[in-house]
Chain A
């Protein structure tokens, strides 16, 4: 059975897929060859010579195999091809394809996959890093309400541009929000759909979206504490490095893919150029607006400090 082909853009890549994805649709048939081709077909039971192997996934340079029980089996090769053998509905197949599977593909292409959402500010991209449940998407939604544009939700791809500057890739214009977080955003469009049938988590399309890459200006790691009040502290280069490694999305895939060195190099360049701050907020109650206020205040002060430090230098803001 043949399926109609969709054409999309995500993380700066042209994607051709027989499965509907929440990526940016291309208005017409693209003039160029796609960068990523997704196909439906039989996925082999195992890789011939895996370097790394768990019960659910195996990897080797250039190939990654993932099995999601009752949903699909996926094979990602050469940062270019994704073969899918569906066992469940397209909606479920798409969830794991846009998450773990696309992360493996980006890693094969040498892109650093950070567990982060990202917004556009005047001075560059600001990343909100943190594990599941730390508030990345809620903070993203709140800053969008305040007029910023989004670059990515959940997984932010970072590369070094030709000048060696860390640059955040533009992912796709959807935020995934739990019902509780959505309740606070009453004005959002009603066109949202559930991420998966049995979950109170929604895909919310975003209009204010930046579609091109942007130099990273700061990374905020979201953590919580059992005290009152919000605390923001700037990491040393050493702790910033550890923090970015810890907040790498699917870090354990990297070893088998032989991408750890590339990853370390990019992260090391990033912590030398970009401030990484740790933002601690009370575990309970989770109040999103005071958190957004504090982060905005911190970034304003940080920018002012940088301007003062660089007074007299004509190179402010220019690329190196």
Chain B
């Protein structure tokens, strides 16, 4: 079978999406456990790589691992019964051989989540327990990767991330795989419409009442309460909590103009494409950028979702 990749830059709503999809598929009276969500990052796990590829990733160079990632994804797709969802923070990059890391043959589609990078930086700093400036530098680094340490071994494979806008463009402009892109802000503003479009894109049976219940079961306060009560496995040990605020616009009080400027300078065109630029520029111009929490409508990115496909590309 083939896989729907749940792709996003970190801290862009991926876990929330997994929680809604899990509850939608479960159809249970109770909210699903956050430690048993569908779509875990199987493709980024060293253990999965070693077993599916049949070679020891810990004896392989980062380039050799990258070269074998397309094979891993094909083997995973073959072994996973539908509906197959796999979370990935990897950018859409190519192996040294020139082959795409996420091959067409392994892919049913890409569900891409994008979030205002000004909010990502706030959430990410909290998640990694680092300063805003450190995260801004990381998000502006075109060579950024996760788990990329070369002197020790992680249970995860190296994850090529690129800079924030590079990550977004890599998935949206690749022209090979059908992509359904959703803004985090639209999941917040109108969850039934935004999650509904994702459910349809993934080809799941459509049921509005089921979706309403799934959204309710995965409501932010519930996720946070469950994470605190049951010790959410995906929280970083250094992070105070995984689910922080779940809102849009907290950057206005958390970032200084210098930090906003640094992100706008690095990612302006992509921010503009998703309607994130106007508020940032208003903030920098000193008028506070208006009172509304989300990005203004009427920008180049209208409506809550848009489907990119090979035909459209």
List chain A positions with a Cβ less than 8 A from chain B.
54-57, 66, 68-70, 95-96, 99-100, 131-134, 178-181, 195-196, 198-201, 224-228, 250-253, 282-284
Contacts and interface: CB of A to CB of B under 8 A. Distances in A.
B151 A179 contact: yes
26 contacts: A54-B75, A55-B71, A56-B54, A56-B55, A56-B68, A57-B54, A69-B67, A96-B59, A132-B47, A133-B58, A133-B153, A133-B155, A178-B151, A178-B152, A179-B151, A179-B152, A180-B149, A180-B151, A180-B152, A196-B59, A199-B61, A224-B155, A226-B232, A252-B51, A283-B237, A284-B237
Contact of B56 (A132, A134, A178, A181): A132
A96 B151 contact: no
Contacts of A196: 59, 61
Contact of A100 (B56, B151, B153): B56
A131 B155 contact: yes
A96 B58 CA distance: 11
Contacts of A201: 58-59, 153
Q: Which of A70, A96, A226 has the most CB of B within 10 A?
A: A226
B101 to A, nearest CB: 15
Interface in B49-80: 50-59, 61, 64, 67-68, 71, 74-75
Interface string B230-264: 01111111100000000000000000000000000
B201 interface: no
Contacts of A250: 50-51, 54
| B contacts with A: majority SS | loop
A202 to B, nearest CB: 11
**Interface size range of chain B in the complex:** 35 or more
A283 B149 CA distance: 15
B59 A284 contact: no
Given A99-B59, A282-B237, A252 B152 contact: no
Contacts of A68: 55
B46 interface: yes
B154 interface: yes
B237 A56 contact: no
Given A132-B46, A180-B152, A226 B51 contact: no
A57 B71 CA distance: 12
A270 to B, nearest CB: 20
B156 interface: yes
